[in-house]
Structure 1
Amino acid sequence: MAAFIFYITLFILMASTSRAEAAQTSVVALLLRVDQSGKGDYEKIQDAIDAVPSNNKEMVFILVNPGIYNERIVVPADKPFITLSGSKPNNTVIIRSDNGNIFESVTFTVLASDFVGRYLTIQNMYRPGAKAVALRVSGDRVAFFGCRILSYQDTLLNDTKRHYYINCYIEGVWECRFPF
């Protein structure tokens, strides 16, 4: 299926100028659409990520149409500069129900740097009492905006490097069992 090119206009404040003097820069990004009904470029999120070339140097914007995507997602280290975006976190949901090793039970893994996730719900639905990670982040300069990250235990594995969570809701249930 065809991919689309679109333009994003960014306003960048230059360090040497005042706030009133913003420089305008155009950035070209590849747009990939994910839609379970077959109306997009891909029906699965992982297929869109897999389509990004290894050692990617271009910005890629993956727009995920509303739906519940029952997938394990991995953004490999050699695929930086990806933005994965839904429209609202309540209607763009990525789920799995897996448990075990905290590195293997993960619903969504980000190993790449310069990744952005927007308006998504990422959830591991495995029952309480087992390691069931919803999100693992190991890339550098990774940001999540307006996302919901949910699981019963070990919800977020904020592994290594710099990560930012802006207006995100992160929930896990902690169980205390007596006697210790």
Structure 2
Amino acid sequence: MEALSKFDLLNLPVFILEHVHKIVVKQKGKLGMAYRYFLTKLFKHLEISLRAGTVGTMKQPFSMYTLVECECMEGRPGQLSKKSQLVVEKRQLKHELEEMTALVTKENAEIALLKAQLAKEQTEASGSAEVTKLRAKSESLLAQNAELTEKLIKAHDAANDHLTLVIQSLTQKPPFS
């Protein structure tokens, strides 16, 4: 009770286990107060209403400050001891570290995703540059092919005209002499 009144931290589960061990083992169950009666007495002394509580974490220290913080008691605790202040600050820093770690992990995942997208876009861009070069080459080859086809057609036409003249000259009857 004195420790709680001074706002010192207590590890209540260990305290209860030691109390139960003392009653069961050392005193063989005689002349002892079971832990539930002990807690009832403790809560009555601290004027704590036994209503639905606040969920804590494992290994969370239990102190008068915790009771006020969880709104199990009314009032404002006095100055915390240096150790209690350090424990509270450590808890806050640990929570901030967990939040920062989660944020960094999220940011790293986003960076990896953006890098993958950038690599994909660069691949597509280099592919599209190659496609553009190939299309330009294809267009120049098609133009060259059209010119050669036109020349070939003109050459065939000229050859046909020449052949037509030869056929006409061969089919004409020679003049009588």
Q: Which has the larger radius of gyration?
A: 2
Ranked by relative contact order (alpha carbons within 8 Å, sequence separation 6 or more), the top structure is 2
Q: Which structure features the higher share of strand residues?
A: 1
Q: Tell me which interval the TM-score lies in, with the shorter structure as reference length.
A: under 0.3
Q: Which structure features the higher share of helix residues?
A: 2
Question: What is the TM-score normalised by the length of structure 1?
Answer: 0.22
Question: What is the TM-score normalised by the length of structure 2?
Answer: 0.22
